[in-house]
Amino acid sequence: MTELFFFLMFIAAVYGIGSFLLKFFKLESKSFWEEFAFANALGLLLAVYVTLLLGVLGILDRALFISMAAASVVIFRNRIISFAAAVAKASKSQFTGRFNFSKLLLLILVAFAILNLVASTAPVASSDALAYHVALPKLYVSGGSISFYPSIIPSAYPSAADMLFLYGFILDGGVLSGLVSFYIVLLLAISIYAFGRRFFSMQAALLASVVFYTLPLVSVYNTRAFVDISTALFAFLSFYALFLWHSHRKSSLLVLSALMAGLSASTKISGILAVAVIALAVIYSSLLLKNISLRNKIIAAVKSSFVFSVVSAFVVVPWYVRSFLYTGNPVYPLLFSVFGGINLHPGIVFFWFRESLQDVGLGTSVFSFLLLPWNMTMHPSAFGDLLGIGPVFLAVIPLLLLLGKADRKIIAILAMALLFLAGWFITGQNLRYVIVIFALFAVVSACVLSQLLRHNALKYVAAAVIAATLLFNSAALLGTNYDKIPVALNLVSRDSYLSGHSPTYGLFQFANENLPAGSRLCLYGESRGYYSDNNYIWCNPSLQSYVDFYRMNSSQQLAHRLKELNITHVVYDRTAESDVAYYAGRNLPHAAGVFMNGNRIMHEFLSERATLLFSNDNGAVYRLTY
Amino acid sequence: MRKLLIAAVWVLLVCAFYAYFQLFAILGYLK
């Protein structure tokens, strides 16, 4: 339960300081949810950079982080109490009186949120979180500072969301990192609600929030401590602030939009798409100014886009500088042919950015683009996600054509979604990379559904779509969390849950309990090192070239390299053997080739210089003698 | 009435195809 206490403290602290910062942006919000969304986003922005600064300075001290959160809660207590009182008052009015459709939607939202909250308290078990989103925070805390781990390429990525996971980890461990992820998803649902309420209607706002929050894809990433939801949250809030700026033309709102876009780009390299798309929208919006000459419109567009770009750059550039200082490449490992980068073999870069990205999606032709709405809905597994987005967008958005002339705001939202979609289509077609589109589609779908519900005949169609969607989405939620909830409620043991989710968990358990202090592991066939309490490096042939299996051809070379890196033990995951066939089957010859070479060398090396300490069905732990 | 018919047929088609494709995708995953 301590994690829930620290979780509430973290939210209150973030909101408190963010609410104070928000007053400088003159939002003049009439909705407390709107104020809540932007206040939290600013609080998170501050939390990201304070954590980064203290981490780089080597001051990752738990007492300090608790004190900062506590200080924010105490100093801004009046703001926090006022907000809590406003929510309590609104809730009271929602849960009294006659039961109606809005109350049903709210109830569904609350039920989903409670289930997601419970599931989020399960131990960290998702692949990328175990490999780096929560594993790196654990390494930073145990190492005392934020630094570059040369074998773990993602340690040089823009990591704004990972800084939030790090804050959570420092407060109360990995589960709190997962709860921070849950909170970010909820914040996005609240932001969608606030946006719908501000620009459309209460019903559309609630529907949009429910449509988004119950999407199968969102249920999957709710509890996974991935960064993609953060990328989407800040991109959506940037878009939201842009809409506000378009209506009010206050430069503070443009700055707010730019800060959010910069923060989105700070969570993931591909998040730069938000800056590009919204900068285009800023230019377009300036050209729509009325009662001024074309020349003045162009001057306004240049000025606004300049302010937007400079402020966004101010937020995101620290990450590029950090990456440059670590590796010599500001966007490591991207643009290798331009900037190069340490410990990087061109084969790895080719595999990561050509082979594996070409492996997701259904082509980049014009015809493929036109078929995207159908394919993204019907074949989500081709876009890297089994459950996808459900049928709601494809079923509902085309019905706009039946409703006569569309609202200009809806057209603007669709145009923005189209720009995001086009950018995503030509870069990496993985559904989770562009969750912001689904937030925008949720708003459009909700507006269409809301209009249909007012139509005499079409209201039955709207009701059927809502019912079918919620049915599919509830099944997806339960399917996603069926194993997390029992372990979160202590009905299943943590060890048996983790043994099922992380094949090498048993190997790490053995290593944690039996290896001498100061041991340093080479993880072969495995990169999910979160549950290792020993220091380790990644040795997977296709994920790094710090131990470069592209250039090696003998066990002597491997021995020389591992000795040079002070490696004392190898944790060997047997999936390394099946990975060759797996990559070959997916038409990834580069990865299959380097894995085949790596396996040959590693097997030779282990038979010559290693002593088997422990073995199970999933792998083995070896001690090395040089 | 025409609008109702078009909307109903479209929604039914989308939901039916989605259920069909998802069923096979999930069965394939579970296998």
Would the pLDDT of A43 be above 90?
yes
Q: Do residue A465 and residue B29 have CB atoms under 8 angstroms apart?
A: no
- Rounded to an integer, the average pLDDT of A421-446 is 94
Contacts of A329 (CB under 8 A, 6+ apart): A156, A323, A335, A336, A339, A340, A341, A344
H or E stretch including A610?
A: strand A610-616
Q: Is B15 on the interface with A (CB under 8 A)?
A: yes
Place of tokens 């048996």: A496
List, in sequence order, every beta strand (DSSP E) within A15-155.
Answer: none
Would the pLDDT of A357 be above 80?
no
Q: Do residue A395 and residue B25 have CB atoms under 8 angstroms apart?
A: no
Place A580 in a pLDDT band, splitting at 50, 70 and 90: confident
Q: Do residue A461 and residue B8 have CB atoms under 8 angstroms apart?
A: yes
Q: How many CB pairs under 8 A join A and B?
A: 54
Rounded to whole angstroms, how far apart are CA atoms A506 and A512? 10
Q: Do residue A402 and residue B8 have CB atoms under 8 angstroms apart?
A: no
Contact predicate A281/A414, CB 8 Å: no
Q: Do residue A378 and residue B17 have CB atoms under 8 angstroms apart?
A: yes
Q: In chain B, which residue's Cα lies nearest the Cα of A449? A: B7
Q: Sort out which chain A residues have CB atoms less than 8 A from B15's CB and list them.
A: 391, 395, 465, 468
pLDDT score of A535: 95
Determine which of A220-224, A382-386, B26-30 has the lowest per-residue pLDDT on average.
B26-30
Determine which of A147-156, A233-242, A385-394 has the lowest per-residue pLDDT on average.
A385-394
Q: Which of A381, A389, A459, A470 to mutate to probe the B interface, most B CBs <10 Å?
A: A381
Would you tell me which residues 25-44 of chain A have a C-beta closer than 8 angstroms to some C-beta of chain B?
none
Would the pLDDT of A244 be above 80?
yes
Place of tokens 């923005």: A416
The mean pLDDT of chain A is 93
Distance from CA of B31 to the nearest CA of A (A): 14
Contacts of A429 (CB under 8 A, 6+ apart): A357, A360, A361, A362, A383, A384
Query: What's the whole-model pTM score?
Result: 0.95
Q: A623 in helix, strand or coil?
A: strand
Q: Do residue B3 and residue A381 have CB atoms under 8 angstroms apart?
A: no
Would you tell me which residues 449-488 of chain A have a C-beta closer than 8 angstroms to some C-beta of chain B?
452, 457-458, 460-461, 464-465, 468, 472
Rounded to whole angstroms, how far apart are CA atoms A229 and A222? 8
What are phi and psi for residue A244, nearest 5 degrees? -65, -40
- Rounded to an integer, the average pLDDT of A26-42 is 91
Place A172 in a pLDDT band, splitting at 50, 70 and 90: very high
Q: Sort out which chain B residues have CB atoms less than 8 A from A378's CB and list them.
A: 17-18, 21
Helix, strand, coil percentages in chain A from 3-state DSSP, rounded to 5: 70, 5, 25
Q: How far is CA A547 from the centre of its chain?
A: 28
Q: Do residue A386 and residue B11 have CB atoms under 8 angstroms apart?
A: no
Q: Do residue B4 and residue A390 have CB atoms under 8 angstroms apart?
A: no
- Rounded to an integer, the average pLDDT of A259-277 is 96
A565-to-A150, A538, A544, A560 alpha-carbon distances in Å: 11, 12, 14, 9
- Rounded to an integer, the average pLDDT of A382-410 is 90
Q: Sort out which chain B residues have CB atoms less than 8 A from A401's CB and list them.
A: none
Q: Do residue B7 and residue A461 have CB atoms under 8 angstroms apart?
A: yes
Place A403 in a pLDDT band, splitting at 50, 70 and 90: confident
Q: Do residue A457 and residue B25 have CB atoms under 8 angstroms apart?
A: no
Q: Which of A383, A397, A465 to mutate to probe the B interface, most B CBs <10 Å?
A: A465
Rounded to whole angstroms, how far apart are CA atoms A226 and A179? 11
Would the pLDDT of A146 be above 90?
yes
Q: What are A48-78's pLDDT values in tens digits?
A: 999 999 999 999 999 999 999 999 999 999 9
Would the pLDDT of A279 be above 80?
yes
Q: In chain B, which residue's Cα lies nearest the Cα of A377? A: B18
Q: Do residue B4 and residue A458 have CB atoms under 8 angstroms apart?
A: yes
Distance from CA of A218 to the nearest CA of B (A): 17
Would the pLDDT of A562 be above 80?
yes
Contacts of A22 (CB under 8 A, 6+ apart): A35, A38, A39, A42
